[in-house]
Structure 1
Amino acid sequence: MSYYDIDAILTDAQKVPCTFNLNLPQLGYLDSAPGRPLPNGTKVDLPLWLAERLAVSQLTPNTSLITLDLPPSLSPRVMNALKADPKSVDLRSLAANFYGLAERILELFEEEDVCDVLLETWRVRAGEVGDHAVSTGAGAKGGGGAGGGEGVEFLRGLSEEEREIFRRAHDSSKAMRVWMGEMKKK
């Protein structure tokens, strides 16, 4: 990704749950207690960019500054819902850049089952996104037309990565129809 990629910047800003592994004086403001120490075991949501750096920094060979936890968007409850029906989950409400966040988190965790669920989710949802993009007459913004209420709800729940697929597939389909129209005129 580019340094100026807005999706990468927004993914880095996504808050993730962390647990501090030592007492830190004067950092209570991270837990809404200004002027107080931040005690060992305190759970705080930090931006991904900061949490990632603190999680990999070590105080001693076996102790890191914080323990990074899986974010709620990758919780077992969400993974079970994705296993059951990937198309029914509103990924946008979990994290706008859902796949970017998952990719960054999975670089830190060894969660093969989560990775397998996300790969299958991507495969199923990308096909559905492509179908909606080709069949809708709504334009690249995403709105009405495809599959009634269910289709509109599905399109509203697309992550940013899926919205980009929708835009590109829709524009490609539209360009193909224009080209075919021009070929018929010749």
Structure 2
Amino acid sequence: MELDEYYSIDSILAEQQKIPCITLHDYSKEANLNGDNSEVKRGSRVELPYWIAKPLAQFTLPTDDSLISIELPKTYSTKVRNVLDASPTSVDFKLLCPYFYLFGRKLLDLVVDDSLTSILEKAFKTRLRDVMDYSQSIGSATGQTYLQKLDETEKELYRVGQESALQFIQWRDRSTQHIKTVELGVRS
């Protein structure tokens, strides 16, 4: 976690996402990788939260061996990428991963995958247009249904867009600023 994200609840929740890993060494039950105090043999598949998988994947032993190898989560699989490439607006990110973009950005620190970067960027740019369109129609039932499919980053942008639309309406109707007349006591 970066220092500027230390107190960010969204960052903390994004780092709770599980990552499939393969152990490259035997681990005793004290390591508790599975969460059930069982030993983990070399070559075993375990799912670890990002916050623990990252340091384990980046740590190297004096023999230049790694402790674990990281695999891409199903959230960013080829199947999901193909759907995102075909129609980014049809994907329900809330079901897929509530922190799709934030977790995807963090995942890029661990894996080298050029296509993941382009898929994240394309999906974000395409969906942003719809997010802003829906945010400008305050109180729309369609907008509320659409809101259920957004990830947390998109929900925040939607909220900011709605605030902006409301501020514009208030400005247009001149309801934010009123000029009041003042009675001046004139001395004679």
Aligned length: 174
TM-score (norm 2): 0.85
Q: Does 1:49 align with 2:41?
A: no
| Aligned position for 1:3 | 6
| Aligned position for 2:97 | 95
Pairwise mapping of residues 96-175 of structure 1 onto structure 2 (< 5 A)? 96-138=98-140, 144-146=141-143, 152=145, 154-175=146-167
| Aligned position for 1:21 | 24
Gaps of 5+ in 1: 139-143
Secondary structure class of the residue paired with 1:64: coil
Specify which structure has the higher proportion of helix: 1
Q: Distance in 2 between matches of 1:32 and 1:167?
A: 38
Q: Distance in 1 between matches of 2:42 and 2:86?
A: 38
Measured against aligned partners, the alpha-carbon deviations of 1:10-29 in whole angstroms (never above 9, x if no partner) come to: 01111111111011122585
Distance 1:145-1:18 versus aligned 2 partners, 3 A rule: same
TM-score (norm 1): 0.86
Query: Percent same amino acid among aligned pairs?
Result: 30
Offset, 1:108: 1.6
Query: Which protein has the larger Cα radius of gyration, Structure 1 or Structure 2?
Result: 2
Measured against aligned partners, the alpha-carbon deviations of 1:109-154 in whole angstroms (never above 9, x if no partner) come to: 121111111101000001110000002325xxxxx243xxxx71x3
Q: Distance in 1 between matches of 2:35 and 2:16?
A: 19
Measured against aligned partners, the alpha-carbon deviations of 1:50-84 in whole angstroms (never above 9, x if no partner) come to: 00000000124542100011111111111111001
Q: Distance in 1 between matches of 2:118 and 2:71?
A: 19
Task: Give the conservation status (yes or no) of the 8 Å contact 1:86–1:121.
Answer: yes
